Amino acid sequence: MNISPDTRPIKRKSRRTRMWAITAGIILAFYGLWYWVQPLALISPPFGEYWDDKVVDFIILLASISAAALSRKMARNFAPSEPPYRIWVLFFWGMYFWVVGEALGFVYDHFYWYLTFPDYIVPEFTLMDVCWTLGYFFLGLSLYQQFRLIYSSRNKNQTLYYYLSFVAVVLLIAYGLTELGGALGLGEGVSHGGVFLAIIYPVFDLFQGAAALWLFFLFRRGWLGRPWWGLLLFAFADAISTIDWLGGFETISDQAYNYWYLLSALAYLTGYMIIALAFMAADDHLALALQSDRPAST
């Protein structure tokens, strides 16, 4: 490959990343303001609240699509025979199923909210749960491939053992928290399986986020360690939603409740934005490495 030493295209790409970061900040501010004010609910009751929700959901859907598309673009920087390809194509599939889950939210809200107004009763288990679970599965495999690449000098069977042990520990912790929540009276009126399903998401987020933190330090703040940071924000957002769903916010004021949910919503959207921007910056880094005619670290 004939690689030019001229770095000006990379400067334009870096400027592109900075501009998209600024744009993301503006969108995040707009999202938070719309979420808090809910203007359509003020001017067009009773269905204005529904359409307010669809506006913020659409922003989240676009952010998730961006994260998935840029993760796929990152995978295509490598040949299918290269280990980084397996890491990022698995990450892409995790994001892909989460995009489908976000899109299915529109369908379920239409049938279980808009058409049944003023009732809003969603089944405990939906196709969205299938998508979230598959997303975590592929993200976990992506993490496994990353650690397997890092510790390739060690026994690979031992690395697989660690991964399976990790999955078992996550399931046991989620089960233990389910039993604890039941003992405390949380999740009243919800089945045992429903409580377990609500708890396992933030547990997955926390463990995968901890693994991402480990990768961040292993890479010494490397570019390709940063996409995983979005999972930490998902953990925060999911934890708030789970506590509320289990009845943990019944004793706080309405104002405090609204503040917590605003933080949850902002963290959730920011998680997708960080993943997308991290892949964009990583793509710039790889392009710079190619122009410098030297390999980039994964």
CA-wise closest residue to 173 among 165, 184, 185: 165
Q: Residue written as tokens 């399976």?
A: 164
Closest CA to 69 of 272, 243, 239: 272
CB 98 within 8 A of CB 129: no
CA distances to 46, 94, 158, 160, 182 from 165, rounded to whole Å, are: 50, 21, 10, 8, 26
pLDDT at position 221: 60
- pTM given for the model: 0.83
Q: What is the pLDDT of residue 160?
A: 66
Letter for the amino acid at 260?
W
| HEC assignment per residue over the chain | CCCCCCCHHHHHHHHHHHHHHHHHHHHHHHHHHHHHHCHHHHHCCCCHHHHHHHHHHHHHHHHHHHHHHHHHHHHCCCCCCCHHHHHHHHHHHHHHHHHHHHHHHHHHHHHHHHCCCCCCCCCCCCHHHHHHHHHHHHHHHHHHHHHHHHCCCCCHHHHHHHHHHHHHHHHHHHHHHHHHHHHCCCCCCCCHHHHHHHHHHHHHHHHHHHHHHHHHHHCCCCHHHCHHHHHHHHHHHHHHHHHHHCCCCCCCCHHHHHHHHHHHHHHHHHHHHHHHHHHHHHHHHHHHHHHCCCCCCC
Task: Write down the pLDDT at residue 3.
Answer: 33
Please state, in angstroms and as integers, the Cα–Cα distance from residue 83 to each residue in 86, 108, 148, 150, following that order. 5, 38, 9, 10
215/222 Cα distance (integer angstroms): 9
Q: Is residue 123 reached through a cis peptide bond, with omega within 30 degrees of 0 on the bond before it?
A: no
Output Rg (C-alpha) for the chain, integer angstroms: 21
How far apart CA 65 and CA 86 sit, in angstroms, is 20
Per-residue pLDDT of the chain (298 residues; tens, 9 = 90+): 333 333 344 444 577 888 999 999 999 999 999 999 999 988 887 788 899 999 999 999 999 999 999 999 999 988 998 888 999 999 999 999 999 999 999 999 989 888 887 777 778 789 999 999 999 989 988 988 888 887 765 555 666 677 677 778 888 888 888 788 777 766 666 777 777 877 788 788 778 877 877 877 777 666 767 888 888 888 888 878 877 776 778 788 888 888 999 999 999 999 999 999 999 988 887 777 666 655 555 5
Task: Supply the pLDDT for residue 5.
Answer: 34
Task: Tell which residue, 64, 61, 81, 70, has the closest CA to residue 17.
Answer: 70
Average pLDDT, the chain: 82
Q: From CA 163, how far away is CA 71, in angstroms rounded?
A: 23
Using alpha carbons, list the distances in angstroms from residue 276 to 66, 120, 134, 160, 279: 6, 32, 20, 29, 5
State both tokens at 29: 């501010």
